[in-house]
């Protein structure tokens, strides 16, 4: 039997544990690259969420228009060529209540002239969604996050706008430039 000297045996390093400096640098670089690509993706979730909410409100407005116009035709109403002397004849009975419709297109009014008549905003359940605001004038109903001014809609902001005076049809537009 031959004896091996202790100089030839592999030595166990005493006191070494953990990562080397190169491994640590590689992990930090890898995390930096992942963050550079992943962070913009997560930052875009707020915009995506807002646009999705507004698309849902737009869909609710379009559904409301369809229901109210259908009821108007069933009740025998027709489009007038001039503003009638009384809006009382342009009331539609729906499950939600009495809705005033515009004489040009039989769409729900943005602002009802008769005190007990429903307006477009009354048909949409949006008040539970945080951060939304409502701006209504005689022609436009706007619901959204960033509504600028109270007059005619602009191309800037983050909202849905309903134009009840559209001729021959009312319109619903989505403005998402500043979402």
Q: Which residues contact 71 (CB under 8 A, 6 or more apart)?
A: 92, 93, 94, 99
Task: Give the least confident one: 55-59, 126-130, 137-141.
Answer: 126-130
Whole-model pTM above 0.85? no
Domain boundaries, the chain: 54-175
pLDDT in tens, 16-64: 667 788 888 888 888 888 777 776 666 667 888 999 999 999 999 999 9
Helix (H) or strand (E) holding 136: strand 133-136
User: Are residues 111 and 102 in contact, defined by beta-carbon separation less than 8 angstroms?
Assistant: no
How many residues make up the chain in this entry?
179
Rounded CA-CA distance 140/12 in Å is 81
Mean pLDDT, residues 116-138 = 87
Cα–Cα distance for residue pair 61/58, rounded to 1 Å: 5
- Average pLDDT on 147-156 reads 84
């Amino acid at each position: 039997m031959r004896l091996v000297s202790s100089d030839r045996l592999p030595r166990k390093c005493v006191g070494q544990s953990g990562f080397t400096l190169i491994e640590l640098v590689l992990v930090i670089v890898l995390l930096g690259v992942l963050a550079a690509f992943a962070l913009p993706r997560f930052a875009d979730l707020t915009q995506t969420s807002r646009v999705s909410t507004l698309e849902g409100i737009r869909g609710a407005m379009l559904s409301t228009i369809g229901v109210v116009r259908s009821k108007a035709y069933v009740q025998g109403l027709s489009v007038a060529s001039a503003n009638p002397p009384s809006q009382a004849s342009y009331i539609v009975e729906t499950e939600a209540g009495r809705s005033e419709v515009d004489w040009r297109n039989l769409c729900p009014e943005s602002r009802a002239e008769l005190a007990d008549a429903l307006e477009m905003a009354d048909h949409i359940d949006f008040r539970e969604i945080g951060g939304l605001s409502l701006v209504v004038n005689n022609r436009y109903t706007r619901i959204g996050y960033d509504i600028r001014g109270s007059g005619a809609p602009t191309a800037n902001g983050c909202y849905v706008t309903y134009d009840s005076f559209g001729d021959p049809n009312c319109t619903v537009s989505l403005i998402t430039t500043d979402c």
